[in-house]
């Protein structure tokens, strides 16, 4: 139960960070606390390479990784 709450809270935090910085972003979550998968869909990615898309998202979540709040993430980005 506690792990489920922590996982839910992390999803809320991640979505808030991404949507504050990329207003048209849509975040789709899958998996669980051990196998966390995130798909981010946005028009901002149109002119960006796949590597730059991923760098953009990872930079936004940098403090969560540094703090240990988030330790692994499978990321996919898509153009809306």
The model's pLDDT over 44-76, given as tens digits with 9 standing for 90+, comes to 999 999 999 999 999 999 999 999 888 889 999
- Count the residues in the chain: 80
The model's pLDDT over 10-45, given as tens digits with 9 standing for 90+, comes to 899 999 999 999 999 999 998 776 678 999 999 999
In this structure, what are the phi and psi dihedrals at residue 48, rounded to the nearest 5 degrees? -110, 145
pLDDT at 3: 57
Instruction: Give the closest residue to 70 by CA, choosing from 5, 19, 25, 11.
Output: 11
pLDDT at 2: 53
Residue 69 and residue 10 in contact, taking contact as beta carbons nearer than 8 Å: yes
Rounded Cα distance, 76 and 53, in Å? 9
Q: Which residues contact 65 (CB under 8 A, 6 or more apart)?
A: 58, 71
Rounded Cα distance, 27 and 22, in Å? 11
């Amino acid at each position: 139960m506690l792990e489920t709450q922590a996982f839910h809270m992390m999803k809320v935090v991640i979505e808030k960070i991404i949507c504050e910085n990329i207003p048209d972003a849509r975040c789709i979550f899958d998996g669980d606390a051990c196998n966390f998968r995130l798909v981010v869909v946005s028009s901002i990615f149109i002119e960006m390479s796949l590597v730059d898309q991923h760098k953009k998202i990872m930079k936004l979540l940098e403090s969560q990784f540094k703090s240990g709040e988030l330790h692994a993430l499978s990321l996919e980005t898509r153009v809306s």
